[in-house]
Structure 1
Amino acid sequence: MSMIKPTLAKGTRDFSPQEMVKRNYIFDTIKSVFKKYGYAEIQTPAMENLSTLTGKYGDEGDKLIFKILNSGDYLAKVNPELLAEKNSNAATASISEKALRYDLTVPFARYVVMHQNEIALPFKRFQVQPVWRADRPQKGRYREFYQCDVDVVGSDSLLNEAEFILIYQEALSNLGLKDFSIKLNNRKILSGIAEVIGKPELIIDMTVAIDKLDKIGLDGVSKELLDRGFSEADIDQLKPVILLQGNNEEKLTSLKDVLAKSETGLKGIEEIETVFKYLNALLKNNTTLKPKVELDITLARGLNYYTGCIFEVKTNEAAMGSIGGGGRYDDLTGMFGLKGLTGVGISFGADRIYDVLLELNLFPQYAAAGTKVLISNFDEEAEIYALPVLQLLRDAGVAAELYPASAKLKKQMSYADAKKIPFVILIGSDEMQGDELTIKDMMSGQQQKLSAEAIVALLK
């Protein structure tokens, strides 16, 4: 039998113990902010029924859903005529009933509908789990990645949107990021723009195109709009709006003139102004949280289910795409039979945030190590002596381990270095005869003799 070289599926990764400590640092930091704002955690399955997911993300999103083949002989029950056509899209429903979740929002909507008699409204939940997308892997973009989502359903208050801005600000600041922008727009404004130029039926085509402005430039957006059914005259009307300049207040004033004849567009402007009003009130007596919020008319968020305010967060400290996004969805649960239940939510891109923190060297030193102290092991007598010390450390909440076999000091120190363990306790004959143990700081190389109790106090 030939040997098969082990490989990873493209767009996926293994995570080492050191990486997991850093990833959990991100998750724990974000979760602590979610809890502070009154959100509780749930989890949903990795796979959903394909019918649950399709039709929620637009045509481009649906193409990126990972389908799961039915078990057994999945071709046996397929209509022979479909097979003869060799049309995979037409045959998908016959060979695949399930799929890996594309995001956490649609499964959350499904959860709300199925558990509507068990939850109290408004229902505030957060969720930290992996999602899968059949996208082209590149830096900061993976086929399997984690999302940290926070949503509230059953509340149409725009206070939620204002608080989400603060959640972004607080969580990212706690992770050490200093220069990032929270971009804000409203899908009603975009709908109003489509109305004003006389192409309301092409709202999706317009938003998909202008959402790519920072990637393909104005010329690229113009070409795509032409390909999607817009005229040169339409584009001439759109350009001043797309390239809107000024501060938030100036942009809103300009938009009021542009959208004067669109009731929908004016409603979107009103909602943005209300969010800013809430935000100013929340920060009235706060001198530490200073969110940098930018009204960005080109922000469209390609997902079809957004109906109101939409968010996107980008860091200016590293070359990276968005590290967060979300928005208001007025009737997502209606797709599952529960009408009129509005919701709003945001997501943190944990994998991209990890890459940014790594590049900027923002992980705290303790986040690079799991074990905080290693106890040396020179012989059987030292091993037995060390065991109550080991348990004392663990009882005090200090992550500690005893080297598992008698070995030379150099080998044990190499083990500590490889695992980035910051301290080593050395137990030799002198230590066993006295009341003090030798502890070495692996970073500075300094050693000192302390009692077991003093070492516990030092490491805590």
Structure 2
Amino acid sequence: MNNNKPQTLKGFRDFLPETMTVRNYVKNLFIETFENFGFEPLETPTLEYASTLMGKYGDEGEKLVYMFDDKGGRRVGLRYDLTVPTAKVLAMYPEIPIPFKRYQLQNVWRADNTQKGRYREILQCDIDTFGTSSPVADAEIIAVIYTALKKLDFKKFSIRINSRTVLKNILLQSGITNNQNSTLQSLDKFQKIGEDGVRKELKEKDFSQLQIDSLFKYVKVAKPDKNLAAVFTAIKSFNLPDWCYAFDPTMVRGLDYYTGTIFETYVEEPKIGSITGGGRYDTLIKTLGGPDIPAVGTTLGLDRIVDCIIELNLLPKLAKTKVKIMVGNFGPETEKESLELTSLLRQNNIATIFYPDADKIGKQFKYASIKNIPFVALIGSDEAINKVVTLKDMTTGEQKTLTQNEIVKSMLK
């Protein structure tokens, strides 16, 4: 006898229909927004060669990639993000018209430590523009973020914007020529642990007091470089309100492939970390063996965004089911008429289910009630003889006798 209790792996989740209703609502809103901005859909494989994935995410990121040898002895890995596989696509398919604006919604896997808002399997939602270095493309990505979050009724969020060029200049001015990545890793924690916390960490890493003081001196006077200033000008021209974005010279973004503008979005509550993150990566396609194509894009963290929506009660009143009517089952005697009604309703784009077993009618009503199905249609022997249907409103309990065509008209109102 097997005594193993069914369970889901840590960091992975099952999504029941009620949760999927919320997730699909957010996904569909994202897709509507992306397509309104002219982005096109793309999908890439779940597995990639290890050589495609490694060397793109930094030392910390690469520790989180699920890697293994497949049955053919090939070293492969699960998708860690969507950007690197899409860069591979552009390297492989030079006939794709440039600029190429794509969106992609697929799962990614990360062997991460689990906590609130952090999972090991994530549905990632990405948009990227390939083939242009224009600051307008960077600003447009930020405009998409703002538009999507406003459609979801987020009111208190901040898109923090910086540039790798600004960070390089700060390090140069501070006289920090060695261990630059280590410096930036500590600086990136500024929002979490503050200036004192960053200073303490840098001291523990054996940076001199002069270097630490110089770093913060130049952080505090940093300004956008010429390209980043042009991005801010374009953001303003896209009519984004001033409150939703800001220059933040302490924001780093961890991935090694960023080359210019970088940005992240945070909400005031709940304290869940960034809900979007992206930037410009102009050398990645070339790194993958393709042409020298510049690119900019962002990830919208659907899982964290859904968590925020639920916690902040931002959801509109969503129907718990799309099924509008259930056709009851009185057994073989009237099955033909019941199935014909089911088919007629579906032909008129009315979401309908047929109860599969001839159970007691009370059990059928109970099922419809549990599933929040608003109407039940019944065809017993009397209804079949008279070519009518009994329609029960599950909210009020009211019952009517109607023809099949009258039921269709009633459901379409």
The TM-score with structure 1 as length reference comes to: 0.82
Whole-Å separation in 1 of the counterparts to 2:398 and 2:317: 18
Over the residues paired in the alignment, what is the CA RMSD in angstroms? Answer: 2.6
Whole-Å separation in 1 of the counterparts to 2:67 and 2:213: 41
What's the CA shift for 1:459? 3.9
**Number of residue-to-residue matches in the alignment:** 411
CA contact (8 A) 1:182 1:291 kept: no
- Measured against aligned partners, the alpha-carbon deviations of 1:78-118 in whole angstroms (never above 9, x if no partner) come to xxxxxxxxxxxxxxxxxx711112111111111110111x2
CA contact (8 A) 2:329 2:355 kept: yes
CA contact (8 A) 2:333 2:381 kept: no
2:85 to 89, 99, 107: 107
2:226 to 250, 270, 282: 270
What's the CA shift for 1:302? 0.7
CA contact (8 A) 1:164 1:346 kept: yes
Moved more, 357-366 or 423-432: 423-432
| Change over 3 Å in CA distance of 1:455–1:297 after alignment to 2 | farther
What letter corresponds to residue 195 of structure 1 in structure 2? L
Residue of structure 2 in register with 1:280 after alignment: 236
What letter corresponds to residue 59 of structure 1 in structure 2? D
Residue of structure 2 in register with 1:64 after alignment: 64
1:407 to 359, 364, 368: 359
CA contact (8 A) 1:194 1:203 kept: yes
Q: Give the gaps of 5 or more residues in structure 1.
A: 75-95, 245-253, 257-267
| Change over 3 Å in CA distance of 1:406–1:168 after alignment to 2 | same
Whole-Å separation in 2 of the counterparts to 1:66 and 1:220: 32
Moved more, 312-321 or 129-138: 312-321
Q: Give the gaps of 5 or more residues in structure 2.
A: none
Counterparts of residues 49-448 of structure 1 (less than 5 Å):
49-71=49-71, 97-116=75-94, 118-239=95-216, 244=220, 254-256=221-223, 268-283=224-239, 292-366=244-318, 368-428=320-380, 432=384, 433=386, 435=388, 437-442=390-395
Moved more, 44-53 or 444-453: 444-453
CA contact (8 A) 1:190 1:203 kept: no
Whole-Å separation in 2 of the counterparts to 1:211 and 1:452: 65
Whole-Å separation in 2 of the counterparts to 1:318 and 1:208: 24
What's the CA shift for 1:223? 2.6
Whole-Å separation in 2 of the counterparts to 1:136 and 1:337: 33
Whole-Å separation in 2 of the counterparts to 1:456 and 1:227: 73
The TM-score with structure 2 as length reference comes to: 0.90
| Change over 3 Å in CA distance of 1:366–1:427 after alignment to 2 | farther
What's the CA shift for 1:139? 1.3
Whole-Å separation in 2 of the counterparts to 1:279 and 1:187: 19
Whole-Å separation in 2 of the counterparts to 1:315 and 1:445: 44
Whole-Å separation in 2 of the counterparts to 1:185 and 1:429: 72
Whole-Å separation in 1 of the counterparts to 2:226 and 2:390: 68
Residue of structure 2 in register with 1:14 after alignment: 14
What letter corresponds to residue 307 of structure 1 in structure 2? T
